[in-house]
Structure 1
C-alpha cells in the first residue's frame, strides 16, 4: 500500500482563538476565522484543527511527555507508588506485558481549571520546571525527584487544553446557535487527561523479558516466544489493551481505528523518542534516550475521510495542539460538526522509536440526553453510504476502497450504538461494548 496522503491542518494562533471566543465582533477577520473553523470541523472538513503558539506550553510539553515512557518502563512496584503519590491512575492493564500502549490518567475538574485560567501567571509553569537535568543514570537507582512536578505539570497542561476546548466550543456555539456544546462540557464538571506512551518494539520486548525473569522461567519463556511471534506478525492492541484481529492492509498500528465518543479531544503534537539499543542491562536502555524529529515529518495520526474515501496522515506545526471532534459533538450539533474516524500508525523499520503524547478528553455529563429526532439520517449513516459509493469507483481506487471496507468491519456504526433518548452514559457503555465487549468488533476473540 502506498503512503497515505498528508493533510496539513488548518492552524489558528492561540491569541486569535482567545480573542475570537471572547468577542462578538463581526469584523471580516473574525468572520473568516469562524468560517474556517467550522469548515475544518464540519462535514466537509477533516474534523480537526490545530492551535499554535500557546504560551509556555512548549516547556510543559518537553518536561511532561518523556515521563510517559519513564512511567511505562518502571518496575510495577515503583510505578504503582509514583502514580499513587501523584494522584494518577491508569485505564489500561499495566501488568499485561503484551500491551502496545501505556496510559496514565487523571480527572481534571473545570472548577480548578477555570480558577487557573483566571489567575494564571504571565509565565506559566516556570517556577517548578528546569530543563538542565540530563536523561542519564540507571533506572534501578532512580530518585523520586525524577517525577517532581508530575502532578502539577499534568494539571497545568491539562487545564490549558481544557481552556482551548472550551474556546472552540464557544465559537462553534455562536455559529450553530445557543450554547449547548460549552454548557454540556461545563455540566460534566471534569475532563479526563491521559499521558500516553506508545511503545517501541524494543520497549515491548524489554517489558516481556522483565516479566519472564520475574515469573516462572519455563512458563514465561513460552509466553515470551509467543509474544515475539505475535509482534513479528504485527498484531495490534488498542488503548484498552484488547488484541485486535489482524488485517493485512492496516496491521501495523499503535492504536486501532475508532471514533472518540466525547465532544472534543485535545492532544499535543506528539514527541518521538529514540532509545539506545538494549544491552544486558535493561536499566541502562530504559534511562537512555533522546528526542528526535518525526521520521516522516508528520504525527502518525491517520484519519479516514469519507468524502474522499481516503486515509490521510495528519501534519501540524511542532508543539501545536490538535482539536478533534468526537461523536457527542456530532450529535449535539446535528451534524454541523463531524466526528473523526482515526488511528495511530507505527513507523516501519524503527524498532526503538516510541511516541509520547498528552490527551484531554472533553465529554458531556453522564446524564446528558441525546435527541436524534432531527438528526439527518443521511449523515447518521454516512459511513455506510460512502462504502456503497466506493463500489462504483474505478480500478485505480480499489486499494483505498478495500481499506475503507476493512476499517468499517472493525468500527461499529453510530446507527448501531445510538438510540433516541439515550444518555451519554448509556451511549458510552454501548459504544465500549460494541468495540471491545465479548462479541465486539475489536474484542480479543
Structure 2
C-alpha cells in the first residue's frame, strides 16, 4: 500500500508541474560579452547582411512584433514594410515565393538547454562534422562558432527567398548556389570594410587586431550574443508562482492544473522553456509553397523527414517554446492558427479542427501572382490523407470553460518586461542603409 501511495504521489507531482523550488534563473543562460551583443544588435538590423542589401534579420524578427513578423508565412527578400503591412514588392524585385514556414520567435533561445533549432531541427549541437554542429553546411560550417544561436544566424543569409536573393542578382547568392559556405566570406568582407564596423570588431574581440581579420565567425558570434541576451524573458506570473508562490489568477491556476494534468500539454511542452525539443505530428492545415526538395517538388512540407529522410519522421515538427506565446501569433510551423484558442482546440481534436479550418484564417499578405498556388496542396486528396494519418495526438474532450482556462494559463507565461529589452532596435546602422 505504501508503494502504491508513493507512486500515486509521484504521478500527482509529475502531472501538476515542476516544483516552485526550481525556477528558471539568469544562471541558466549563456554568458555573453556586452560589446559583442551591441555589435550584434547593429548587424541584426543591418540589410548589409542580405544579398541585395534590402532585408535584415530584424525584418522578420522585429522588436515591435515580439521577435516575430506576425504573418503565417513571411515575405522575405524583395518585400517592403513590416508585419501585416509588408508588401511583396514590384517589378524585378518582387518576391518569387513566400517563405515556406512561420518565423519563430526568439524568446529564451540563449538558454543553455537549447540543443536543436529550426522547425525541422536541421541544426543541432553535434560532433558529427567536427565543428560542433550537425547543420545544412555539414563539414563546410566554419570552426569557432560559440553557440547554436551563432550557427543559426548564418543560415538565413544563405537562403534564396529569405535574405540571399535570386541567382543572378548578386555575388552572394551566386556563390551560395555553388556551395552553401561560399557566400559567407563575401558578406564578411562587406561588413569589415565599413570603417565603423571594423573598429567595433577590433574593440569587441581580443583576437581581432585589424578589420581584415574579421570573418563570418565573428559576425555569427556577435549575432548570437545579441539574440541570447536580448530576448531573455523569465518574469512572467508563472515565474512568480514558481519562485515564491505568488498565486496565479483563479482561471490561470485552473489552467495550470489542466496543462500539467488532464489536458496532457506538458507531455511535449515540458521543462523550463515548455518544450521537449522533440518532433511531433499535429496534422496542421496545409498551405503555402511547402518546403520542397530537388527530388520532391510538391508544395508540401514533410517536416523532420526533410532532414533525416526517415519515413517515421514525416510531418513531424519541433515543439515550440510557450514562453510569451500569447504575443507570438499566428501559431504552428506554418502559422495556421491566429489565436491561442484555435491552436489549443486543434491539439484537442486535430481531425475536426483541420476539417473546419478556413483558408481565410491564414495571415498571408496578398500576392496575386502566387495566389493560385497558396492552397494548391489542399486539392491533393492523397497527400491530405497522408498528413491526416500522421498524428501524434489523439482527441481529448475538454469543455469550453476548460479551454478558456488553458488559454488563461498560457497568458500567464507572458513576461512582465517584454517591451523593455536591453538594447532594442537601433536608430541607425553603420552601413547607412535604411532599417525596418
Q: Same fold (TM over 0.5)?
A: no
Structure with the higher strand share, 1 or 2: 1
TM-score by length of 2: 0.25
